[in-house]
Chain A
Amino acid sequence: MSAEKGLPKMKMFKQRNGWSETFPVSALGIVFAALTLCGCGRAATRVSIPVKVQSEIDINRYSNFAVLPFAREKRSSRDEAMPQRVGEEIASILRRGLARQKHFDVVSTQETSRILTGETVAEEWLTDIEHLSELGSYFDVKAVIVGNYRFDTDSRPRRYYGERYSIQRQRYVMNYQDYMQKTYFLTLRVLIIDVENEQVIWDESYRRSTAEAHTLGSFIFSQAGPQENTLRELSRRAIAEFTRRISPHYEREDRYLVQ
């Protein structure tokens, strides 16, 4: 019987592989490094604090607005399919959004309709700052909000790859399904006109999109069906972004507490 047979298995393994000397040192090193890293990780704690973000416009100066109905962009490919009152609806969503902010007063929808009786807001109005300022003085406001919108859809076939269990082959096999993806895009351009100085103080576009998957049948129905709800939802999202930018609000931001 050899002398090796009496040795514990671990010792034999160590001797065979020739790392009996380095093993404890490297293990200690790893443990030490792990402990150090753990310690470093706990040195600072990240917390999220509310931070007040100021409005991007002078809210002391521009405290009351008149929101005019939004005009349709002439380049829009689906002009004829759009409902007539979309522009007015976008404006009323914006009015509601601004009225919720304590810093702003907004001319009501009824009052706006009354003053604009007989007039139709067209895209050409956006460049006629003088006319818009004049309207603003009728409304007795500091600023007028106008804009236009473009609503597009894009449909293209897509293929979804997945796996299904094949009973015949007794294993998962690759599977795919074809569908139509219909994407709706809304581009909303919003301008704020300073009535007193006849200047554009805000001119930004907000683009929002949403997509839905269709089979061939549902796709045909969706082409013929109403799109108001999608448009309303996209408008709401775009307007929320605009309202957030021009009104003071809170955002969460990270800070580090040191232990």
Chain B
Amino acid sequence: MLKQNVSVLISAFTLLTLLGCATARDTVRVSDYNQFAVKAAQAELWNEAIFRWRQVVAMEPGNAKALNNLGVAYEALGKTDEAIAAYERATALAPDNKYYRLNYRRCRIHVRRKGATEDEDVQAEERLE
């Protein structure tokens, strides 16, 4: 009986340890990917940066940082619709982050210059409020 309990405990401990390791590895991976992508973006390798941030978003769909950075990369390549979508998700996930809001605002100014309708603009402003 004691032997059984010990083996169950050991199995549970091993399982938990493995799970912990896996989660830690994922976190490290996400952080590494983000760091690498930021460096790629600084070197203006936007396609590479997008690839990395997409992987981060695939791993963690609620990663606001990656979504914001993805928005910047899309905007740099002139893909304004994708950029707006990414910024919207980032600001929805972290509404108080000043950097996400700033990027989103600036992007919207350009969209407005391109001729977006007043209604779309008001809607976006409401979302930010």
Q: Which residues of A are in contact with B by a Cβ distance under 8 Å?
A: 44-45, 47, 49-54, 253, 255-259
Known: A44-B99, A49-B75. A258 touches B69 (CB 8 A): yes
Closest B residue by C-beta to A258: B65
Closest B residue by C-beta to A50: B76
Query: Main SS of chain B's interface residues?
Result: helix
Please give 18 more A-B residue pairs, beta carbons under 8 A apart, in addition to A49-B75, A49-B76, A51-B110. A49-B72, A51-B75, A52-B78, A52-B110, A53-B110, A54-B113, A54-B114, A54-B115, A255-B72, A256-B102, A256-B103, A257-B38, A257-B41, A258-B69, A258-B99, A258-B100, A259-B34, A259-B38
* 8 Å CB contact of B38 from A45, A53, A54: A45
Bound: A50/B78 CA distance, A? 8
Task: Give min CB distance, A88 to chain B, whole Å.
Answer: 35
Bound: A253/B78 CA distance, A? 13
Please tell me if the beta carbons of A257 and B110 are within 8 angstroms of each other in the complex: no
Closest B residue by C-beta to A52: B78
Bound: A257/B72 CA distance, A? 7
Total A-B residue contacts, Cβ distance less than 8 Å: 47
- List chain B residues, Cβ under 8 A from A47: 41-42, 72, 76
For the complex of A and B, the 9 pairs showing the least CB-CB separation, nearest first, are A49-B76, A256-B99, A258-B65, A255-B72, A257-B69, A44-B99, A257-B38, A255-B103, A54-B113
Closest A residue by C-beta to B68: A258
Q: List 24 A-B contacts (CB under 8 A).
A: A44-B99, A45-B42, A47-B42, A47-B72, A47-B76, A49-B75, A50-B76, A53-B110, A54-B113, A253-B106, A255-B75, A255-B76, A256-B102, A256-B103, A257-B38, A257-B68, A257-B69, A258-B65, A258-B68, A258-B69, A258-B97, A258-B100, A259-B35, A259-B65
Closest A residue by C-beta to B97: A258
Closest A residue by C-beta to B70: A257
Contact with A along B16-49 (1 / 0, CB 8 A): 0000000000000000001100100110000000
- List chain B residues, Cβ under 8 A from A49: 72, 75-76
Bound: A50/B76 CA distance, A? 6
Closest B residue by C-beta to A255: B72
- List chain A residues, Cβ under 8 A from B65: 258-259
Bound: A45/B49 CA distance, A? 14
Bound: A159/B78 CA distance, A? 51
Closest B residue by C-beta to A259: B38
- List chain B residues, Cβ under 8 A from A44: 99
Please tell me if the beta carbons of A53 and B113 are within 8 angstroms of each other in the complex: yes
